[in-house]
């Protein structure tokens, strides 16, 4: 794996995972490495292959090629052992609107042959408490907000102990308050030791709750690692505030740096090369008589990094 993480330390591992529809590769030979205990953001624009990948991992779609391991076991061969340890919320929850939250969860639990009936009521109550819905347990689901329905869906995934939770776009369509509620829930689940795999097209989603991420673009995995590693792989830039624009550009070019096009704010900027020390740039500017009013090395943001990787912007709302 590109992460270098041993297989035993991974909750999800794929090699060459591929899904084709005719000649079209919706997922094209991806190698995922999701560390146990992480909150892993599966990030990419809509249509980049995220949901198709999740459906293969959960056995809802057959892979065309490649291998998968979840919780240390080969999939789909070991699905009977693995899937009971995995909770999932894919493509939105579906509930009986005229039943209460409690009654809905009891029905879903009764449909699971592995779920012990003797402890059903206690487990449903605990799941509702865990997602912050104890106060609305007796309310009909038709009166729930969208954020409450999302949390009820997560409660359903948590009726039995889970080592891995897979959430596909868990805040899709939520208002800011609902989004905050789901984010807080994900953090609390991760704090309890559950590995959480979150698919999202929202950059802020990944930045605020995830420890690791992978970036999909047009069916291919273009980057993965910890958030710090992804940021570090971006291109830092120097920013120079000076009244001597032309002189600053000449100095940068003489150091092998390519100045960016002129900016309306008057800053002179250029990508910083790894071997070029900022102190050397300042010294060269001073030596050439360039007046410096401000100097800054700006590390690449995740947004800039992802746009560079995918050629597309990401939604940054919520």
Give pLDDT, residue 310: 65
Tokens of 275: 């071997």
Share of the chain above pLDDT 90, in %: 49
pLDDT in tens, 277-302: 889 999 999 999 999 999 988 766 67
Q: Which of 222, 218, 169, 200 minimizes the C-alpha distance to 43?
A: 200
Query: Which residues are registered as beta bridge partners of 31?
Result: none
Instruction: Write the burial class of residue 223 (CB in 10 Å: 0-12 exposed, 13-18 middle, 19+ buried).
Output: buried
Q: Predicted confidence band at 4 (pLDDT cuts at 50, 70, 90)?
A: low
Boundaries of every domain in the chain: 7-232, 237-298
- In degrees rounded to 5, what are phi and psi of residue 231? -65, -45
Q: What is the pLDDT of residues 137-159, one digit of tens each?
A: 999 999 998 888 988 998 998 88
Is omega for the bond preceding 313 within 30 degrees of 0, making it cis?
Answer: no
Fold adopted by 7-232:
Rossmann fold (3.40.50)
Is the sign of the CA dihedral 158, 164, 166, 171 positive or negative? positive
Class level of CATH domain 237-298: alpha beta
* Residue 315: pLDDT over 60: no
- Residue 264, C-beta contacts closer than 8 angstroms, at least 6 positions apart: none
The two tokens of residue 102 are 């409690």
Of the listed ranges 78-87, 152-161, 172-181, the least confidently predicted one is 172-181
Least confident of 79-93, 220-234, 300-314: 300-314
Most distant CA pair in the chain, distance: 82
Q: Which of 16-30, 210-224, 263-277, 300-314 has the lowest mean pLDDT?
A: 300-314
Structure confidence at residue 111 as a pLDDT band (50, 70, 90): confident
**Rounded mean pLDDT of 152-177?**
87
């Amino acid at each position: 794996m590109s992460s270098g993480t041993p297989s035993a330390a991974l909750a999800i591992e794929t090699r060459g995972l591929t899904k084709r529809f005719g000649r079209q590769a919706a997922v094209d030979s991806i190698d995922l490495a999701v560390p146990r205990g992480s909150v892993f953001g599966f990030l990419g624009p809509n249509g980049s292959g995220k949901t198709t990948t999740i459906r293969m991992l959960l056995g809802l779609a057959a892979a065309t090629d490649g291998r998968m391991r979840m919780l240390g076991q080969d999939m789909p061969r070991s699905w009977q052992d693995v899937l009971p340890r995995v909770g999932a919320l894919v493509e939105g929850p579906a509930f009986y609107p005229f039943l209460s939250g409690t009654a809905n969860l009891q029905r879903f639990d009764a449909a699971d042959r592995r779920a012990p009936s003797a402890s059903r009521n206690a487990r449903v109550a605990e799941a509702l408490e865990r997602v912050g819905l104890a106060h609305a347990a007796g309310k009909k689901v038709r009166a729930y907000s969208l954020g409450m329905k999302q949390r009820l869906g997560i409660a359903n995934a948590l009726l039995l102990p889970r080592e891995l939770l897979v959430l596909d776009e868990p805040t899709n369509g939520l208002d800011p308050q609902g989004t905050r509620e789901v984010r807080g829930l994900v953090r609390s689940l991760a704090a309890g030791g559950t590995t959480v795999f979150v698919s999202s097209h929202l950059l802020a989603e990944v930045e605020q709750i995830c420890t690791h991420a992978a970036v999909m673009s047009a069916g291919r995995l273009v980057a993965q690692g910890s958030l710090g590693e992804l940021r570090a792989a971006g291109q830092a830039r120097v920013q120079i505030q000076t009244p001597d624009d032309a002189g600053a550009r000449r100095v940068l070019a003489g150091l092998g740096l390519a100045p960016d096009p002129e900016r309306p704010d008057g800053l002179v900027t250029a990508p910083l090369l790894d071997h070029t020390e900022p102190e050397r740039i300042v010294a060269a500017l001073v030596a050439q008589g360039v007046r410096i009013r401000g100097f800054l090395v700006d590390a690449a943001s995740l947004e800039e990094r992802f746009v560079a990787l995918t050629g597309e912007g990401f939604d940054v709302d919520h």
